[in-house]
């Protein structure tokens, strides 16, 4: 009885398995930031984004581009650096409960990655279609490209790599090597960003109009398929968590 | 503490709504359309727009305005742009701020793509009905398949009023009067909403019970019993029959409600009738042409022979929509966009009338900041440093002749 | 790590933990699928899906089912093989439609002001339900490919007809006949999409002129079967849990 009481006390004192505050804060951060971005697009897309040779384009859009690139490099360096630097060097000796807790934290990262991938792959990519109906494309750096390619894609890349690094540095299940599908799910969508080179080359020298189904865009399609690597990640996670819960669940 | 948190949450939500509303209701001033990005030699050697008129500078929502004029399809069409065998008379505006109520080449309505002939001149007009308030740059524009948009001059037009009052009423061949702005909208929401709910119901049915880890453990242990129950199969059959039933019902109902429908209309329109231009009796030979980078001036040496029966003077040089005028010969009062009009930008070494039968060599200088502003001076860095344009000659009665010039251009850097 | 220790305090906690993971996994899977499926779909069939004046009897009916059966087939392969869950196709399609609707409303309408009745997406839910139900009742991927893939292609046009029929009413406008959908494309200016880009039926001298939609649907159904097989194997490949050794 006494032991049970101690155990309950310990439970109450220890960190929760899932830190819901971090989960909601993480998801909320992306939401609030992207709502602000959408507001910025709504206002400055129209007033300063239609002519890339206008001085206001430089002020409101090219400066946006320069700032975001610097911030992205900084964020990636710091975030990935911290996750790596603070890695658990005794990861194989953690308790099952700690491992479970880390799986939850890992899923906060994955939930954020999914959320970021939605904004990049779905929201801002299709949004690009509507903006390029509205302007005559006169630069590689149109307002929608500055947001889509150079903001929303780097953000999901930063999140995805952070998630991968968290798993690799803190979860025993991922010490067997490199999870093939996890790499596909992170590196594949990452490759969409370099594929912008093909897109811009084609649009600059070949195709001025906005035909979404043009073969020029198939590079994006191919790398978009790699998002299906999430199927392997879910399976891997279910195997790992299943091992932890098996004797209590079945 | 909780009260403060609630207040912060509430205020944040209000701020979020206000931000979105501000973005949605924002009435902007839109700048130009990016025509400056196109290679100068292509702008000079494809479509030449002239005699343009924007009927109104200010229109209210639901009112119409018209852009009319002529365009010449240049005979020295550049190799790098496909010939205008499939072209579309578009309008360069930032999306549907106006609706295109009509567009004509000659007297032919051109809602579809058309074939244009090199060397011909066509008249056109585009009727626009104002939809979204703001100050918009309205350009003429021709799209050419394999080439892209060829953008003509643009002029600001202000739309006043509110978008909410815009209507697009039409009467169909079945006798119904509809507003195309909202026609069928509730039907679209209804069917999409209904089917989405069916999908969600199927998903929720399966997610009510444990989904991933217990099922993974069961499947990997080979214990498949109970994962799909007889009840599940009954529900699945209901979904199957219900889906097919709903599809058939929707199809039948649509057919009875809209018994007369036609397929989408498409197809290239050939046989555009060009304008009959006055016969040209002036012969122009470009002896040499150069662009002086420091002076932002283009200089041409022209040998002109007047084979007509009245004396003529050179009044205008028009290239890539920038017009250089000699004010002693011709002044423009059409309200052409000021940034594209060098109303005293053309100087001619000897612009006394060229008499019938006379041949004269003259120096023509076209200078204006527009060379830089519209990036035409970049021609000297283009891969095909060749210029082209229209020369307009006038006789003393105001009769006009249009002559095309097309020649290499040599830059002068010092 | 000690294997004898338990990660949870009780069976009740294990159930709760498992359930919490369900929510986290569904959220993540749903969001990633929206991102991946949407980018795939918008760049292989998107123009037909964006605009009402692309939704014709021939190419829309042919292309959209073929390019959209891909992710459903892959996710079904994983969800059924590993979890006996028959909702892979529906999950994908609901994700795709949600992503599309958000964008059509907030951006096509909210940012660039194209009317929603011009830019609504295609309805793929009936095919998805049929695909999932056939898999569940048959338990066979082969039957699902053949019967489900066939149903996916065949049901597409009738499943969308109630939505697009009102826009196919004819109208005379300045001396030419249009459907209302054509007129939307003409009226609501797409600066970046000239008319010649539109890939729709332009007629044929050959037979079946009046049966364009059924012939297209049948062909689409045939190819959908083949694509289902292909993407089933893609799904299996993506479902693996292999680790590779870093070198």
What is the C-alpha to C-alpha distance for residues B296 and B370, in angstroms, rounded to an integer?
9
Q: pLDDT at residue C16 above 50?
A: yes
- Name the residue with tokens 């904004």: A119
Chain C residues whose CB is inside 8 A of the A179 CB are 241-243
Chain B hits for A38, Cβ within 8 Å: 20, 23
Domain B35-168 belongs to what architecture? Sandwich (2.60)
Chain B nearest C-alpha distance from C194 (Å): 6
Q: Within the 2-41 window of chain A, which residues sit less than 8 Å (CB to CB) from chain B?
A: 32, 35-36, 38-39, 41
Q: How confident is the model at residue B147 (pLDDT cuts 50, 70, 90)?
A: confident
Q: Which residues contact A98 (CB under 8 A, 6 or more apart)?
A: none
Q: What is the 3-state secondary structure (H, E, C) of B289-344?
A: EEEECCCCEEEEEEEEEECCCCCEEEEEEEECCEEEECCCCCCCCCCCCHHHEECC
CATH, domain B282-412, list 3.30.430.20, 2.60.40.1580, 3.40.50.300, 1.10.510.10:
2.60.40.1580
Whether C29 contacts chain A with CB within 8 A: yes
Structure tokens at C168: 């196919």
- Give the chain A residue whose CA is nearest to the CA of B33: A51
Domains delineated in chain C: 12-233 (1.20.1450.10)
Domain ranges of chain B: 35-168, 179-257, 282-412
Residues of chain A contacting C6 with CB distance shorter than 8 Å:
96-97, 247-248
What pLDDT shows up at residue A2?
42
Minimal Cα–Cα distance from A168 to chain B, Å? Answer: 21
- Give the residue from chain C lying closest to B183, CA to CA: C117
Q: Which residues of B touch C177 (CB under 8 A)?
A: 173, 262, 265
Q: Pick from C30, C193, C243: which is nearest to A179 by CB? A: C243
- pLDDT average, residue stretch C222-244: 98
Average pLDDT value over all residues in chain A? 91
Among the listed ranges B46-55, B288-297, B346-355, which one has the minimum average pLDDT value? B288-297
Interface partners of chain C (CB pairs < 8 Å, 3 or more) are A, B
Q: A193 in the Ramachandran plot: left (φ > 0), alpha (ψ -120 to 50) or beta? A: alpha
Q: Do B143 and A209 touch (CB under 8 A)?
A: yes
Tell me how far apart the terminal alpha carbons of chain A are, to the nearest angstrom: 26
Please give, rounded to a whole number of angstroms, the shortest distance from the CA of A51 to a CA of chain B.
5
Q: What angle do CA B150, B154, B160 make, to 5 degrees?
A: 130
CB of C64 closer than 8 Å to CB of C122: yes
Contact B95 A133 (CB under 8 A): yes
Locate the chain A residue with the closest alpha carbon to C76.
Answer: A231
* Mean pLDDT calculated for residue range B395-409: 93
- Architecture, CATH, for domain A19-249: Up-down Bundle (1.20)
Most confident of B5-9, B408-412, C219-223: C219-223
User: What gap in Å lies between CA B131 and CA B165, rounded to an integer?
Assistant: 9
Cα angle B241, B247, B249 (rounded to 5 degrees) comes to: 95
Residues 126-185 (C) with a CB less than 8 A from some CB of A: none
Enclosing H/E stretch for A180: helix A180-191
When CB atoms are compared, the residue of A118, A125, A134 closest to C31 is A118
Q: What pLDDT, in 10s, does the model give residues C166-199?
A: 999 999 999 999 999 999 999 999 988 899 999 9
Q: Mean pLDDT over all residues of chain B?
A: 90
Q: 3-class DSSP state for residue B393?
A: strand
Q: What is the pLDDT of residues B48-106, one digit of tens each?
A: 999 999 999 999 999 999 999 999 999 999 888 899 999 999 999 999 999 999 999 99
C122 three-state secondary structure:
coil
Closest-CA distance of chain A to residue C217, Å: 20
Residues A87-123 pLDDT 10s: 999 999 999 999 999 999 999 999 999 999 999 999 9
Burial of residue C65 (CB within 10 Å: 0-12, 13-18, 19+) is buried
Structure tokens belonging to residue A129:
């279609």
Q: What is the pLDDT of residue B11?
A: 59
Question: Residue B305 class from Cβ within 10 Å (0-12 exposed, 13-18 middle, 19+ buried)?
Answer: middle
ipTM of the complex: 0.96
Selecting from B30, B34, B212 the residue whose C-beta is nearest the C-beta of A46 gives: B30
C22 touches chain A (CB under 8 A): no
Residue A137, pLDDT > 80, answer no
| R_g of chain A computed on alpha carbons | 22
Mean pLDDT of chain C: 94
Does B20 contact chain A (CB < 8 Å)?
yes
The per-residue pLDDT for A243 is: 94
Q: Does C172 touch chain B (CB under 8 A)?
A: yes
Task: Tell if the CB–CB gap between A178 and C246 is shorter than 8 Å.
Answer: yes
Q: Where are the domains of chain A?
A: 19-249
Nearest CA in chain B to A132: B95
Structure tokens belonging to residue B276: 């009959």
Least CA distance to A217: which residue of chain C? C43
């Amino acid at each position: 009885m006494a032991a049970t009481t101690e155990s309950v006390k310990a439970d109450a004192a220890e960190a929760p398995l899932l830190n819901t505050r971090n989960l909601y804060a993480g998801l909320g951060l992306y939401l609030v930031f992207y709502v602000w971005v959408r507001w910025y697009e709504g206002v400055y897309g129209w007033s300063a984004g239609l002519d890339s040779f206008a001085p206001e384009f430089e002020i409101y859009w090219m400066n946006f581009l320069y700032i975001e690139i610097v911030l992205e490099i900084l964020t990636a360096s710091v975030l990935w650096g911290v996750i790596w630097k603070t890695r658990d060097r005794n990861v194989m000796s953690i308790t099952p409960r700690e491992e479970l807790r880390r799986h939850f934290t890992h899923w906060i990262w994955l939930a954020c990655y999914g959320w970021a991938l939605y904004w990049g792959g779905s929201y801002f990519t299709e949004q690009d279609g509507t903006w390029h109906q509205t302007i005559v494309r006169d630069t590689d750096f149109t307002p929608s490209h500055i947001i889509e390619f150079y903001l929303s894609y780097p953000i999901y890349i930063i999140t995805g790599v952070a998630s991968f690094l968290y798993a690799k540095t803190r979860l025993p299940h991922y010490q067997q090597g490199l999870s093939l599908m996890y790499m596909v799910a992170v590196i594949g969508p990452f490759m969409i960003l370099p594929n912008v080179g093909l897109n811009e080359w084609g649009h600059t020298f070949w195709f001025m109009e906005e035909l979404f189904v043009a073969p020029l865009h198939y590079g994006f399609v191919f790398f978009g398929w790699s998002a299906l690597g999430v199927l392997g990640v879910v399976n891997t996670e279910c195997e790992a968590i299943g091992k932890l819960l098996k004797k209590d669940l079945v | 503490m909780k009260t403060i948190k609630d207040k912060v949450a509430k205020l944040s939500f209000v701020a979020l709504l206000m931000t979105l509303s501000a973005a949605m209701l924002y009435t902007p001033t839109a700048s130009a359309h990016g025509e400056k990005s196109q290679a100068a030699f292509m702008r000079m050697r494809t479509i030449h727009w002239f005699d343009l008129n924007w009927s109104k500078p200010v229109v209210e929502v639901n009112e119409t305005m018209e852009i009319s004029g002529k365009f010449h399809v240049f005979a020295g069409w550049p190799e790098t742009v496909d010939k205008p065998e499939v072209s579309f008379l578009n309008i360069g505006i930032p999306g549907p701020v106006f609706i295109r109520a009509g567009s004509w080449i000659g007297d032919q309505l051109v809602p579809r793509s058309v074939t244009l002939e090199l060397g011909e001149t066509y008249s056109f007009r585009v009727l626009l009905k104002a939809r979204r308030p703001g100050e918009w740059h309205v350009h003429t524009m021709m799209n050419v398949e394999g080439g892209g948009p060829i953008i003509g001059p643009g002029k600001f037009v202000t739309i006043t009023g509110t978008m909410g009052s815009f209507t697009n009423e039409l009467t169909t061949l079945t006798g119904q009067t509809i507003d195309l702005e909202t026609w069928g909208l509730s039907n679209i929401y209804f069917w999409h909403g209904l089917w989405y709910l069916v999908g969600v119901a199927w998903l929720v049915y399966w997610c009510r019970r444990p989904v991933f880890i217990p099922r993974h453990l069961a499947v990997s242990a080979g214990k498949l019993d109970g994962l799909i129950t007889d009840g599940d199969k009954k529900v699945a059959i209901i979904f199957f029959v219900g889906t097919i039933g709903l599809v058939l019902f929707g199809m039948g109902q649509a057919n009875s409600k809209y018994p007369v429908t036609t397929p989408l209309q498409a197809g290239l329109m050939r046989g555009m009738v060009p304008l009959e231009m006055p016969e040209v009796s002036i012969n122009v030979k470009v002896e040499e042409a150069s662009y002086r980078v420091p002076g932002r001036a283009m200089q041409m040496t022209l040998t002109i022979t007047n084979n007509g029966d009245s004396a003529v003077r050179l009044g205008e040089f028009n290239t890539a929509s920038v017009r250089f005028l000699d004010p002693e010969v011709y002044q423009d009062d059409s309200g052409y966009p000021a940034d594209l009009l060098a109303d005293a930008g053309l100087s001619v070494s000897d612009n006394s009338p060229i008499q019938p039968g006379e041949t004269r060599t003259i120096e023509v200088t076209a200078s204006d900041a527009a060379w830089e502003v519209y990036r035409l001076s970049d021609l000297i860095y283009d891969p095909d440093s060749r210029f082209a344009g229209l020369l307009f000659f006038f006789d003393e009665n105001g009769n006009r002749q249009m002559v095309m010039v097309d020649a290499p251009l040599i830059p002068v850097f010092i | 790590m000690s294997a004898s220790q338990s990660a949870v305090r009780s069976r009740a906690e294990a159930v709760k933990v498992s359930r919490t993971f369900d929510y986290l996994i569904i959220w993540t899977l749903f969001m990633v699928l929206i991102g991946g499926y949407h980018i795939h779909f918008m760049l292989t069939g998107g123009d037909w899906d964006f605009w009402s004046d692309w939704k014709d009897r021939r190419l829309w009916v042919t292309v959209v089912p073929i390019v959209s059966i891909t992710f459903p087939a892959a996710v079904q392969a994983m969800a059924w093989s590993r979890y006996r869950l028959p909702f892979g196709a529906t999950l994908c399609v609901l994700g795709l439609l949600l992503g599309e609707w958000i964008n059509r409303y907030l951006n096509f309408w909210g940012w660039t002001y194209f009317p929603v009745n011009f830019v609504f997406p295609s309805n793929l839910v009936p095919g998805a339900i049929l695909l999932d139900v056939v898999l569940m009742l048959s338990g066979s991927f082969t039957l699902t490919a053949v019967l489900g893939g066939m149903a996916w292609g065949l049901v597409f046009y009738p499943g969308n007809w109630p939505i697009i029929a009102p826009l196919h009413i004819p109208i005379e406008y300045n001396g030419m006949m249009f459907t209302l959908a054509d007129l939307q494309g003409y009226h609501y200016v797409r600066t970046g999409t000239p008319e010649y880009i539109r890939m729709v039926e332009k007629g044929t001298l050959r037979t079946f002129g009046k049966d364009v939609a059924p012939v297209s649907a049948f062909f689409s159904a045939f190819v959908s079967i083949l694509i289902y097989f292909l993407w089933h194997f893609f799904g299996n490949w993506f479902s693996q849990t292999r680790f590779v050794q870093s070198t």
